[in-house]
Structure 1
């Protein structure tokens, strides 16, 4: 895809000059220090899709890194390509999705990615990784583990054809659709249901709703030993003897309810009034204020349950 050449040239020029480089797609998963970023910012806006019929039952579609993610999902649903419909409404770009193995409502991009093409900034050449070589884990990949090395150029997805979704793997979504977990539903119905659920949690941007002024879910769901999970908390086996529990449950039961912080004089940050995982800007907030709230929540959960929450957004020039 031609735009990839311009991306590589911009990053290579900055690397040659010894400049720090910040790669930005949609910017929805970043928290940047109030002092800003001292270096070169490369905004990834490359566009393009190339579709190859894989067989009678599936297509392989290669998508440029700068394509808006939700526009691609909408296109896939309209074309009758299954496997990404539950990832509707997620902001950002296609190229960012393999970095943290984006997932929601029972789907992850790792389930449909067949290859990721990158510019290797260390070897100074293109490389293509198969899904297995991407080392996908929960909100993790080889690209997230080594963020200064790989510039994602495009992502290839293998998507089955069909009018029905992939098996619905998330109980809340299944209830909304009126199906059992593991059953399928019409693609368009799944997309509509997911968008409705996300709006109800303030996870679809609305300029008039400060609950949507956030970097999405701020903490990942902890993966821990089963005996660490508090009584009553959700617990989902992950293999190798560990389980995933709910960060939102831990936050709320540690005393940080929806809207926590709003009652403070002059409050400019708070937990969302719809969803305890979102730390929101109520207007004019600084990154320092947001991070102070994040530390308060993290430390409160650790004191109550002995589990340390980990941030999901990438922190630029700052830390928890």
Structure 2
């Protein structure tokens, strides 16, 4: 039997009752249909970077997708459509695009996991998201058994969210991305990245430079998998940045980082004779705006420092970044979950915010 502690980046988790590896893209649909027809529980595994499985393991069939293949189709408008099979390494795909002089993925360098998992989470970092370049996915539907191409617009993509994460079951077989032929990056959309590059927000830099800067930033936070970095033995960011109403965000301390998720309201032109009627009225706009908060800031302000661990536990907050929970050596899955629950409790008590886990949890509860 195969243990999840050997297959996931946090190196915890019990055994799978049945385990299948698929390397042939043409064989994957048939394997999945056979597994589904058995009526037994099933789980699709990619790179194991966004998955936390309990110590009792998984009483069902695990299909590990290791399919490979990248195909490029030129378009007429100086763009290309890149099709990548689900089992490709995401970071390897980013490196491939940079070497090929294709812009669009450079800010997503260093994200662990497989290509097939990328649309499920709508992965994102440093001002970029998969949704910015995703054209479609090749999808095998669990309910119908049918294979189809689903356009990105039909996937309900949002912050770490997609139709698959909301309950549409099946397996991503491949993704198609539209990238630009350019040695210059997309406009830099994240202040920390701009600072690392010595440039301004909105500027473009060579895609190779952007990728290298992102890798350095991620490594400084323990967010690049490395045998030499104990802080990388994690699922990466354990909690998503919470999204709250503007009214709630206004109740937090003034120095709490926050980002508006709503477009700026358009200016309203009012005839001069009516202008005095607007004096004293609040500006027009949505009844409740949406604001994204910093989970790391909330955790730190709730009194949880980097390197913190519960007494006797082998799980700890990363020494480099409070969003990551690391296995310091021989931890059980329940120790990771216990620390996560403690963090949730502290942030809820201090700020009234419920932090939501980013990884998929199997056999564990928070």
* TM-score bracket, shorter-length normalisation: over 0.9
The residue aligned with 2:204 is 184
Residue 25 of structure 2 contacts residue 68 of structure 2 at CA under 8 Å; is this kept in 1? no
- From the superposition, tell whether residues 265 and 256 of structure 1 become closer, same or farther in structure 2 (CA, over 3 Å): closer
Q: CA deviation at 1:267?
A: 3.4
2:164 counterpart SS class: helix
Q: CA deviation at 1:245?
A: 0.7
User: Mean Cα displacement is larger for which, 36-45 or 240-249?
Assistant: 240-249
Question: Structure 1: which 4+ aligned runs deviate by more than 6 Å?
Answer: none
2:104 counterpart SS class: coil
Residue 267 of structure 1 contacts residue 282 of structure 1 at CA under 8 Å; is this kept in 2? no
After superposition, give the CA deviation of every residue in 1:70-127 in whole Å (9 maximum; x if it has no partner).
Answer: 1100010111111110000011111110001000011000000001110111111111
Match for residue 11 of structure 1 among 32, 43, 53: 32
Q: What aligned pairs does 1:1-320 form with structure 2 within 5 A after superposition?
A: 3-146=24-167, 149-229=169-249, 230-231=252-253, 232-239=255-262, 241-261=289-309, 265-320=311-366
2:338 counterpart SS class: helix
Structure 2 regions of 5+ residues with no counterpart?
1-22, 263-285
Q: CA deviation at 1:228?
A: 1.9
Residue 30 of structure 1 contacts residue 313 of structure 1 at CA under 8 Å; is this kept in 2? yes
Distance 1:125 1:310 in 2: 32
Q: CA deviation at 1:227?
A: 2.6
2:346 counterpart SS class: helix
1:124 counterpart SS class: coil
- From the superposition, tell whether residues 209 and 266 of structure 1 become closer, same or farther in structure 2 (CA, over 3 Å): farther
Distance 1:205 1:95 in 2: 19
Distance 2:75 2:151 in 1: 16
Q: Which has the larger radius of gyration?
A: 2
The residue aligned with 2:278 is none
Report how many residues are paired. Answer: 316
Q: CA deviation at 1:211?
A: 1.0
1:197 counterpart SS class: helix
TM-score normalized with structure 2 length: 0.84
Q: CA deviation at 1:4?
A: 3.0
Q: CA deviation at 1:265?
A: 4.8
Distance 2:225 2:93 in 1: 18
Residue 11 of structure 1 contacts residue 21 of structure 1 at CA under 8 Å; is this kept in 2? no
Distance 1:44 1:159 in 2: 25
Distance 1:173 1:50 in 2: 30
Residue 138 of structure 2 contacts residue 175 of structure 2 at CA under 8 Å; is this kept in 1? yes
Distance 1:208 1:167 in 2: 33
Q: CA deviation at 1:3?
A: 2.7
Structure 1 regions of 5+ residues with no counterpart?
none
After superposition, give the CA deviation of every residue in 1:149-182 in whole Å (9 maximum; x if it has no partner).
Answer: 2210110000011111000100000000011111
